[in-house]
Structure 1
Amino acid sequence: MTCAYTPASLRLVAALALVPLACSGDDSGETTGATSTSSTSSTSTSTSSTTSDSTTTGETTSSGSESAGETTTTTTTGETTSEETTTTTTTTTGDVDPVIVDGFDHPESALYAGQEMYWYISNIGGDPSAKDGNGFISRLNADGSVDAMQWATGFNGPKGLGLAGGRLYVADIDTLHVVNTMDATISMSYAIDGAAFLNDVAIDMEGSVYVSDTGTNTIHVLKAGEQPAVYLQSDDLHGPNGLTFADGSLFVVSIGDMNGDGGVFEIVDGSPVQLGPLTGGLDGATARMNDLLITDFAGQLYRVPFMTGEPALVMDFAADYSFMSSADFGLARPLGLIAVPDLLGNKVGIFPL
């Protein structure tokens, strides 16, 4: 569909054309469930207050956030209070009503924390490459209502998210932050040498954290007790964006050069091998038992079976819900709900699959 862009949106699109955009949304680690979405329309105001002294929990296998010594430790503001007016609307389609929540600031990635029953949403807050301190993380309840619009602050251009052991990993331009979900403070920050546009995050069964760098065709890895290192660098990745694991294999979707030439890849013996013919400005990716779910930034959701690689359109957010974009989505598996950020439209939709 044709969309009318505001001047601010045009500037963001221009920035995206120069340095490809996207992020993560895999519900790895702690995702276990969600509640059904609301069927009423409401306007709500949320206020968040965070404190700074807490310890991380250890519900799942931890990742490399406790690496020692050389890492840079950062803390966010000890007490943050924010008031944001948000609007929640519903559209009836089938048994479960989709919920559309407004009031975000260029939301890029969504992730569902099953044990906590919260959605986490990264907000770029403007230029995706600018170190301006405008980025933040929102937290929504499982039904889409806003728990805290500015739940965690102190970021520049936060994008992909990953969760393990009470630690939320946030890809932020050239730094991987670790946020304590107990108090919303940044407990650790890892500067990644040579990174230009960190985008998505995925965590394997051993707790190693993988981060895509769209700007340099690189995937970095942070292993427990170590510093970040290059896992794979290849121009054949064509702007790596979304990351997800299936049966121990890493899958990558690429945004390309904004001309629709991104693709789907499995990393085999250290090299990207294309899976199927799907191309586009691909953004988020999540693996299920038999297939991948993939968003195209143009506003579509596809499924790509592992066996055939043949893509099938699942949802068209642009045509059906007037979305201007569809970035890195999150999946609440047991109830089959997804949260899809409309980065250019400053809203997030929660939809049944």
Structure 2
Amino acid sequence: MKFGIGLLALCLSASCATITPLESMAPLELSDVGFHHSEAARYDPVSDRYFVSNLGARGTENDGFISIVDPTGTVNDLRWIAGGVDGVELYEPLGMYVKGDVLYVADITAVRMFDRVSGTSIGAIQIEGATRPNDLAVDNEGTIFLTDSGGDETPGALYRISPSGEVTYFVQRSDDLVRPNGVAITTDGQVVHGGLLGDELIYRDRATASIISKRRLPTGRIDGIVALADGSLLVASQNGHNVYHVPSNSEKTPVIVADGIDVPAAIGFDTKRGRVLIPQIRKSSVTVVEVVKNE
């Protein structure tokens, strides 16, 4: 596995830390710990812990679950939130997003909200007509942007969910969306997404959905996208078996920061330690790669 090259002057927070790249570091492999088709990994900066979503058995069973992992790699609570337990519904949870005191989770039927501290269910928004809700991002006003990856015979789409819970299309179903998967909101408020059948990042106006720009990556089948505080992105490419750092300056070349990953899914980023969190569905594992360090 290759990792940790070329992330110069990366801002880890609004205050913009000074960092240098790591030339070598043994990645932390979280495997054989009870994960079951681990799809997404997210960092909770307030509680300083990781959330890992697990699809469970593939299909319509209510057996998805979310784990809590300590930054040392210890699984503190394997089934912190579990479908079928205490009335919780969780059908193949895919994307997750932490905003304020809410953990937002997209499963194949709905966007579900849980208390970030206790894990208590605090509501759900059904996505009528959706084929496969996948990833989501939430802006500062509480608007949710959700990808629907579609299927072999159904084009994908992007939804916008208002703070009051009204569901509308952000982008209508279209083959041009190449089965959208990862989505993020950049520091300047643009919605950026990529698709499972494409190699381009699409940047859109958050209000109008009009395309502002496009950015082609060296390899495609784009999965998770993380927006960093300096305007750059971390992007998982399933075809490349890697994670790219994509500078905000379009004239600068994307750099591989983690390589040799079987199938990277919905990645996360530990802003405190400069770590990329890389879940792998088939391996039911999470690879943690430290790509920057604070000076």
Q: TM-score if structure 1 supplies the norm length?
A: 0.67
Task: Name the structure 2 match of 1:217.
Answer: 156
The answer on whether the counterparts of 1:263 and 1:274 sit within 8 Å (CA) in structure 2 is no
Residue 100 of structure 1: CA displacement?
A: 0.8
Task: Name the structure 1 match of 2:102.
Answer: 167
Give the direction of change, closer, same or farther, for the CA distance of 1:302–1:311 in structure 2 (3 Å limit).
Answer: farther
Equivalent positions of 1:111-260 (< 5 A) are: 111-127=42-58, 130-154=59-83, 155-215=90-150, 216-235=155-174, 236-246=176-186, 247-256=188-197
Task: Name the structure 2 match of 1:317.
Answer: 259
Task: Name the structure 1 match of 2:286.
Answer: 348
Q: Distance in 2 between matches of 1:310 and 1:280?
A: 18
Q: Distance in 1 between matches of 2:106 and 2:265?
A: 14
Tell me the amino acid that sits aligned with residue 113 of structure 2: V
CA displacement 1:18-43 (0-9 Å, x = unmatched): xxxxxxxxxxxx999xxxxxxxxxxx
Residue 349 of structure 1: CA displacement?
A: 1.1
Within the alignment, does 1:263 sit opposite 2:200 as a pair? Answer: yes
Identity of paired residues, percent? 25
Task: Name the structure 1 match of 2:222.
Answer: 282
CA displacement 1:292-344 (0-9 Å, x = unmatched): 210012420112223226643423432xxxx4211111111232111100111
Tell me the amino acid that sits aligned with residue 168 of structure 2: A
Query: Please, which runs of 5 or more residues in structure 2 have no aligned partner?
Result: 2-12, 16-21, 84-89
Tell me the number of residue pairs that the alignment of Structure 1 and Structure 2 aligns: 255
Tell me the amino acid that sits aligned with residue 207 of structure 1: G
Tell me the amino acid that sits aligned with residue 278 of structure 2: V
CA displacement 1:190-244 (0-9 Å, x = unmatched): 1111111111110112121111111142111222223222222252221111111
Give the direction of change, closer, same or farther, for the CA distance of 1:194–1:276 in structure 2 (3 Å limit).
Answer: same
Instruction: Tell me which of 287, 307, 310 is aligned to 2:249.
Output: 307
SS state at 1:226 partner: coil
Give the direction of change, closer, same or farther, for the CA distance of 1:307–1:234 in structure 2 (3 Å limit).
Answer: farther
Q: Distance in 2 between matches of 1:184 and 1:306?
A: 35
Q: Distance in 2 between matches of 1:112 and 1:137?
A: 13
Task: Name the structure 2 match of 1:17.
Answer: none
SS state at 1:275 partner: strand
Tell me the amino acid that sits aligned with residue 221 of structure 1: R
Moved more, 202-211 or 96-105: 96-105
Q: Distance in 2 between matches of 1:94 and 1:312?
A: 17
Q: TM-score if structure 2 supplies the norm length?
A: 0.79
Root-mean-square deviation (CA), in Å?
Answer: 2.4
Query: Please, which runs of 5 or more residues in structure 1 have no aligned partner?
Result: 2-29, 33-92
The answer on whether the counterparts of 1:175 and 1:192 sit within 8 Å (CA) in structure 2 is yes
Q: Distance in 2 between matches of 1:31 and 1:135?
A: 34
The answer on whether the counterparts of 1:134 and 1:156 sit within 8 Å (CA) in structure 2 is yes
Q: Distance in 2 between matches of 1:243 and 1:179?
A: 20
The answer on whether the counterparts of 1:301 and 1:316 sit within 8 Å (CA) in structure 2 is yes
Q: Distance in 1 between matches of 2:120 and 2:14?
A: 21
CA displacement 1:107-165 (0-9 Å, x = unmatched): 111110000111001101132xx221121111101222111111101111100001123
Q: Distance in 1 between matches of 2:25 and 2:237?
A: 24
Q: Distance in 1 between matches of 2:79 and 2:111?
A: 19
Q: Distance in 1 between matches of 2:39 and 2:252?
A: 27
Equivalent positions of 1:42-121 (< 5 A) are: 97-102=26-31, 103=33, 104-121=35-52
The answer on whether the counterparts of 1:31 and 1:115 sit within 8 Å (CA) in structure 2 is no
As a proportion of its length, which structure holds more helix? 1
Tell me the amino acid that sits aligned with residue 210 of structure 2: S
Residue 274 of structure 1: CA displacement?
A: 5.1
